[in-house]
Structure 1
Amino acid sequence: MQSRQKKNEWLQNVYGPATARFPERKYNFKTLSDYEPEPVYTEDDLEDFDPARDLGYPGEYPYTRGVQTSMYRGKLWTMRMFAGFGSAEQTNARFHALLRAGQGGLSTAFDLPTLMGYDSDHPFSKGEVGKCGVAVSSLADMEILFDGINPEQVTTSMTINSPANAIWAMYIAMAQKKGADLSKVGGTLQNDILKEFIAQKEFIYPPAPSVKLVIDTFEWGPKNLPKWNFISVSGYHIREAGATAVQELAFTLADGFHYVEKAIERGLDVDEFAPRISYFFDVHNDFFEEIAKFRAARRIYARQMRERYGAKNPKSWMLRTHAQTAGVSLPAQQPLNNIARVAIQALAAVLGGTNSLHTDAYDEALALPTEEAATIALRTQQIIAYETGVAGTADPLAGSYYLEALTNRIEKEAMGYIETIRALGGVEACIESGYFAGEIGEAAYRYQLEVDRKERIIVGVNDFIDENPVEVPIQLVDPEVERVQAARLARVRAERDPVRVQTALEGLRDAAARGLNTMPFFLECAHAYATLGEQMDVLRKVYGEYTEPVSV
């Protein structure tokens, strides 16, 4: 109380007269989640904060300060650059270039036909093959994609959702053909279909069977690939669609808890599958809000997993997360400015305690990153890791009055959203009702109005505009890729055993119809060189295709 009185007296007697002489700038000080920070913070702003309960030590519940005891003193975050374009051969070459540059793990982007479950020679694929990622239509593509790469030594992340089971099976089949010990093969499958319905819209089947396929990986994964993270619950795409930091956190955790509940409903032991769940968050421009978001995420997750879902294993309480700098924040205008934006965002992710990180290339708004731009993005992480000193101590901003107050506020507001979603019937009900679309749309509209009114300045976009734009080289995808992919598919279909393919596809169809775990059947389809489109078409006939309801 004495502290509050002292702060109020300072604001009235010192700050007030000072700003009367030198007024505050006409600037929007609000965070991107619409929170107005105070001019100064003191211990009085942490009245409900108990350091022992809410902060603790790194590697200890509730993991506010990080999930590893030694954090970056023991092991740096994994530097994992997103890569994928054109043919499997082209992306394989980029993979090897990134590994030579010091990257610690691979992250694979797939093209739109692959993401939507179509083969490269399908009529719907025309003009899109290899454009936003690498084209993968069968095990033959996967074998070329990872040629010369040891799956026991290099972890691989794959950004794939609706066809995730099939693509994962192709990767596993590739590893098996190389003679790899699956118990040593590590990586991450995005496999988060709920955020597709909420934000990215790359879905195939209705929500219920789509979630069922995800839970198949929860059941099969720990027994067969114990080092693999079979899901990366992804807030990144929710944020890129226009959500605030608080909405991103709340909706992502709500999705994660939905998967946990569905796995428990299937009869799975939470402590068997939970340690292999990972998360994926965006890192936007609001420096302190982003740091606080990561800290609040770990605290909410730990408390919910232990207290609501009854997890006993401390590894089940740990929210392990990948992060990526915000592509949506990188404009095409004055693209070299994006190098600075990415560096600041990456620093926020590190200070927030991320476990792995992808830094966007400065030319992302123009085209796929050139090799030079991708290398600059990787060097940004390396400079942070080796030249700034921020990796020398865990959670170095802990105890900051402002940061702790902001962490508490984000935790409280995110939990409010989570409780609202539960009260409305859960995530699937909120998808069908348009709740998520409404919340994100309103936030995105408010932000755009602020930019249009110059209430929020974007350097080079709505202020500090350069009339002589800088020309930068861009990476173009050769249209020849489409012909190469079609020719490879034709060879695969001509050379494979048609009886084995048909038997494998019938097995998958039967498993889906009977509600069996589909992963063994996807794996057999992969080894038989059944194409992605053939497998997805089998499930389209069993599950049907989803059409999003119109939101008014």
Structure 2
Amino acid sequence: MFDQDDLEGIRGARKRWKEETLEPFLEAHGERRDRFATVSNHEVDRLYTPEDVADMEYEEDLGFPGEPPYTRGPYPTMYRGRTWTMRQFAGFGTAEETNERFHYLIEQGQTGLSTAFDMPSLMGIDSDHAMSEGEVGTEGVAVDTLRDMEILFDGIDLGEVSTSFTINPSAPVIYAMYVALADRQGVPREEIRGTLQNDMLKEFIAQKEWVIPPEPSLEVVTDTIEFAVDETPTFHPISISGYHIREAGSTAAQEAAFTLADGFAYVEDCLERGLDVDDFAPLLSFFFNAHNSIFEEIAKFRATRRVYARVMADRYGASKPQSRRLKFHTQTAGQSLTAQQPLNNIVRTTVQALAGVFGGTQSLHTNSFDEALALPTEKAVRVALRTQQIIAEESGAADIVDPMGGSYAIEALTEEMDTKIMAYLEEIEEVGDGSIRDGVLVGIEQGYFHREIQDASYEYQRRVERGEEVVVGVNEYTIDEDTAPEIHQVDETTRDRQLERLERVKAERDDAAVEDTLEALSDTIEAGENVMPPIVDAVKAYATMGEIMQVLEDHHGSYQETASPV
């Protein structure tokens, strides 16, 4: 990208600057510390110049927005066309309470819904299960049957809203409920928009919520993708998630690499199913974390898009631009929030949100300042949403496409991130004897991912304890006064009200019809066919989440993680 004579001139000028300007200044004043590194412990240089990007080819490595390799963004106008979707996570208590919060967020200017579920729903058991005691509605909304979904979206036209569902083992059931609700509302299936997280591989790697073992879990995910291609072509049936990998303690490069590995594993499984890559790849979406080291995060997003575009074309033969275009949702780093001086979290969230915007995200959730203590209050949610709106409307960050592009530092960090991501992918492929899918499955079974994340998390914590990593209000700039805000309280009657509704639904439904649909699901599994059509029929008959998931568990068994060697 640079003329060799120009580079020689820059090298000479830099040498002179170092000797005449830098070294005398360092001798007199020094620097704040001996080593400067990102949250991921990636050391950054004092200064970047064209020398650091001398090998970069503009069209091959950067290109233009909306064109491969998509380093500069997946769309040509980015936020000058429309801003990212502001999709605040919401869900607690019963469907009525969360529906009220949904309407509040829409009134405040939110442009997309994002649904949080309680632990029983996440794990595919009903609110009346013994294991649900103390968990109903406490960290998300309780959804047992289609009746809960009907209430959850009361007064909300599914043809007008985009909805995200953060749920994994029982994701096919929630997806079926949303499809069934669209049918009830008279909204054509091909018009419903939204995203299902449905990423089971990262569950076995990081978040640890599962019902059936990895391989049948992968089969069911592929069922949902196949169903979406045919039935809901504007709904994303999976959000391949690095967020939880990062929350578990990974580095930025591990987050990007392990997420892409999971994504390519799903691609390979779909191809083995006989699906055409250009039919299903446009429906794949991704979900990343935005942490505190703003330049590392921007580089991560840009490099991940570039690697994805390259691998999808070269390895999997994707030819359509939309099949190579990585689209992603971003959430600010929950792990970075502190219970100490919680108002500081507003600043952390703003920095992280800017990283997502400068990195070219398609939708964004900003964490609320009180989330280290409890589910967010309406006040905290409003501040989090206003943070996005100020960035979009007042900061100018949304006015220039890829404003960080061309920065010597950003481009050098992007190239370094690309190299690290590819090294991990090649290692995983080698473990799988040429298959990334098999490498991911073997890596899960052998504890490879656990060890990598565990080591990174341990090293970070050690740096905090040694004071090498400053956490404002925790290991530096502490105060003695109580800074805890008023927190959200879940109504203690939530479980009783939810159980009353579940009991009423069971009493009013046609039990024979429920049994027929569950038997049809069982027969479908036995035949090795797609499970989504019978699951849709089952939820329409008001079969419960737990009843449907039990059929899957009866056929595939449950999963017990084995301890991996240290």
For Structure 1 versus Structure 2, the TM-score category normalised by the shorter chain is over 0.9
Partner of residue 130, structure 1? 137
| 3-state SS of paired residue (2:88) | strand
Partner of residue 120, structure 2? 113
Which of 306, 310, 313 is the matching residue for 2:313? 306
- Are the aligned partners of 2:278 and 2:320 in contact in 1 as well (CA < 8 Å)? yes
323-332 vs 34-43, which deviates more?
34-43
- Are the aligned partners of 2:340 and 2:484 in contact in 1 as well (CA < 8 Å)? no
Partner of residue 4, structure 2? none
Q: Deviations over 1:55-82 (max 9, x none)?
A: 1111011000111111000011000000
**Aligned-residue offset at 1:4:** 3.3
**Aligned-residue offset at 1:33:** 2.3
Q: Deviations over 1:419-478 (max 9, x none)?
A: 111111210100001000000000000000000111110000001001002131100111
Partner of residue 92, structure 1? 99
**Aligned-residue offset at 1:180:** 1.0
- Are the aligned partners of 2:40 and 2:460 in contact in 1 as well (CA < 8 Å)? no
- Are the aligned partners of 1:121 and 1:486 in contact in 2 as well (CA < 8 Å)? yes
Unpaired stretches in structure 2, ≥5 consecutive residues: 1-6, 433-438
* Amino acid of the structure 1 residue aligned with 2:449: F
Q: Deviations over 1:270-308 (max 9, x none)?
A: 000000100000000001001111100110000000111
Alignment of 1:268-417 (within 5 A): 268-417=275-424
- Are the aligned partners of 1:28 and 1:455 in contact in 2 as well (CA < 8 Å)? no
Partner of residue 3, structure 2? none
Residue 485 (structure 1) aligned with residue 492 (structure 2): no
Q: Call closer, same or farther: CA 1:436–1:89 in 2, change over 3 Å.
A: same
**Aligned-residue offset at 1:9:** 4.0
Partner of residue 181, structure 1? 188
**Aligned-residue offset at 1:408:** 0.4
**Structure 1 runs of 4+ off > 2 angstroms?**
3-14
Distance 1:44 1:35 in 2: 19
* Amino acid of the structure 1 residue aligned with 2:79: Y
- Are the aligned partners of 1:78 and 1:356 in contact in 2 as well (CA < 8 Å)? yes
Q: Deviations over 1:160-209 (max 9, x none)?
A: 11111111101111111111111111000001000000000001110000
Q: Call closer, same or farther: CA 1:27–1:168 in 2, change over 3 Å.
A: farther
Partner of residue 206, structure 1? 213
- Are the aligned partners of 2:514 and 2:541 in contact in 1 as well (CA < 8 Å)? yes
Distance 1:469 1:351 in 2: 35
**Aligned-residue offset at 1:29:** 1.4
* Amino acid of the structure 2 residue aligned with 1:451: V
Partner of residue 46, structure 1? 53
**Aligned-residue offset at 1:6:** 3.5
Distance 2:334 2:300 in 1: 18
Partner of residue 538, structure 2? 525
* Amino acid of the structure 1 residue aligned with 2:144: S
Partner of residue 423, structure 1? 430
* Amino acid of the structure 2 residue aligned with 1:174: L
* Amino acid of the structure 2 residue aligned with 1:474: I
Residue 512 (structure 1) aligned with residue 519 (structure 2): no
Unpaired stretches in structure 1, ≥5 consecutive residues: none
Distance 2:323 2:51 in 1: 34
| 3-state SS of paired residue (1:107) | strand
Residue 549 (structure 1) aligned with residue 562 (structure 2): yes
* Amino acid of the structure 1 residue aligned with 2:332: T
Distance 1:518 1:256 in 2: 21
Distance 1:395 1:343 in 2: 18
Which of 552, 556, 561 is the matching residue for 1:539? 552
Distance 1:33 1:268 in 2: 37
| 3-state SS of paired residue (2:285) | strand
Distance 2:111 2:276 in 1: 32
Partner of residue 71, structure 2? 64
Distance 1:48 1:462 in 2: 41
Partner of residue 503, structure 1? 516
* Amino acid of the structure 2 residue aligned with 1:227: T
220-229 vs 27-36, which deviates more?
27-36
Question: So what's the TM-score if we normalise by structure 2?
Answer: 0.96
Distance 2:177 2:466 in 1: 50
Distance 2:219 2:17 in 1: 58
**Aligned-residue offset at 1:93:** 0.3
- Are the aligned partners of 1:338 and 1:362 in contact in 2 as well (CA < 8 Å)? yes
Distance 1:8 1:113 in 2: 63
What percentage of aligned pairs have identical amino acids?
54
Q: Deviations over 1:80-105 (max 9, x none)?
A: 00000011000000000000000001
* Amino acid of the structure 2 residue aligned with 1:304: V
Partner of residue 469, structure 1? 482
Distance 2:239 2:401 in 1: 24
* Amino acid of the structure 2 residue aligned with 1:520: P
**Aligned-residue offset at 1:130:** 0.6
Partner of residue 436, structure 2? none
Distance 1:199 1:7 in 2: 45
* Amino acid of the structure 2 residue aligned with 1:85: F
Question: So what's the TM-score if we normalise by structure 1?
Answer: 0.99
- Are the aligned partners of 1:27 and 1:455 in contact in 2 as well (CA < 8 Å)? no
| 3-state SS of paired residue (1:169) | helix
Distance 1:346 1:435 in 2: 31
Distance 1:223 1:534 in 2: 26
Distance 1:12 1:32 in 2: 31
**Aligned-residue offset at 1:32:** 1.9
Residue 143 (structure 1) aligned with residue 143 (structure 2): no
Distance 1:9 1:218 in 2: 59
Distance 1:47 1:8 in 2: 17
Alignment coverage as a number of residue pairs: 552
Which of 437, 443, 449 is the matching residue for 2:462? 449
Distance 1:492 1:116 in 2: 21
